[in-house]
Amino acid sequence: MPEGLSAAEVGVEARRHREEREREEPEQPDEQGREASAAGPDSSQRTHRSIYIAEAVLLALVTIVTAWAGYAAAKWSTDSRVELAESSTLRAEASRNDLESMELRNFDSSTFQTWFTAYVQGNASAQEVAIRRFRPDFKVAFDAWRATNPDTNPNAPPGPTYMPEYKQPQKDQAEALDRRAVETFASGQKAGGYADDYVRITVILAAVLFLIGIGSTFRLFGARYALVGVGLALLVFALVLILQRPAPPG
């Protein structure tokens, strides 16, 4: 996932702006500069100095905020990938446990069917052999089912697997893992959304750099001040967006 504008790019823009300023300083003052000179010998210098300071301060602030937004985007992006991968792992474990529970249930049904066939035939020795093949957990449910007198009780459960004593830990674990997978997937999606938000914030900050960059080409200081004002408004907007988002995970 892209992380938006980097601090290195901000530094390049700052260096370009400084070089542009150095090229401008030796030049003869234009009409606006001559008017300022007429008003006072230090007026033009103060005008030059104030716009340079304003642009430099704005560049510094944008550098700091861009670095923070890029860091937050990277952290949330990593957190999103980790949680989505964990969700896939949980789903795989849930599937394995569910498959194991199905296999055990099929085995219990098979051994019970063997016992029931021997029971219908009245073969006591075959019944004993079938009972010895029961799993211990299934044997508990089988004994409980036999205690309901299914031969004479019409309300008895259809078989041992319908008894409350019939437990399948693997199935319960599969359901728990599946719930965790759903929660983790939702959390990963939310983290990915936060990462995208921070990337969009870096795009806004890139617009500030663009405004400062084109402003350094203008001779009219009024236009440069206007661009600095727009850039400052965008910076404040980006800060508001950052404050509305959660901090990156530790």
The pLDDT assigned to 42 comes to 56
Q: Is residue 57 part of a domain?
A: yes
What is the Cα–Cα distance from 5 to 207, expressed in whole angstroms? 10
Number of domains in the chain: 1
Q: Is residue 250 part of a domain?
A: no
The pLDDT assigned to 72 comes to 94
Q: How many C-beta neighbours within 10 Å does residue 231 have?
A: 24
What is the Cα–Cα distance from 159 to 62, expressed in whole angstroms? 72
- For the full predicted model, state whether its pTM sits above 0.85: no
CA-CA-CA-CA torsion sign (212, 215, 221, 223): negative
- Alpha carbons within 13 A on the beta-carbon side of 247: 2
Q: What is the pLDDT along the chain (250 residues), one digit of tens a residue?
A: 444 555 455 555 555 655 565 555 444 444 444 444 444 445 555 657 788 888 888 988 998 999 999 999 999 999 999 999 999 999 999 999 999 999 999 999 999 999 999 999 989 999 999 999 999 999 999 999 999 998 888 898 989 999 999 998 999 999 999 999 999 999 999 999 999 999 999 999 999 988 888 877 777 778 888 888 999 999 999 999 999 999 888 7
* 82 and 239 Cβ atoms separated by less than 8 Å: no
The pLDDT assigned to 44 comes to 54
The range of the structural domain enclosing residue 94 comes to: 7-244
Helices (H), 4-42: 7-24, 31-39
CA-CA-CA-CA torsion sign (47, 53, 59, 64): negative
Q: Is residue 249 part of a domain?
A: no
Q: Is residue 33 part of a domain?
A: yes
Q: Is residue 1 part of a domain?
A: no
Q: Is residue 89 part of a domain?
A: yes
Q: Is residue 182 part of a domain?
A: yes
Q: Is residue 41 part of a domain?
A: yes
Q: Which helix (H) or strand (E) holds 154?
A: none
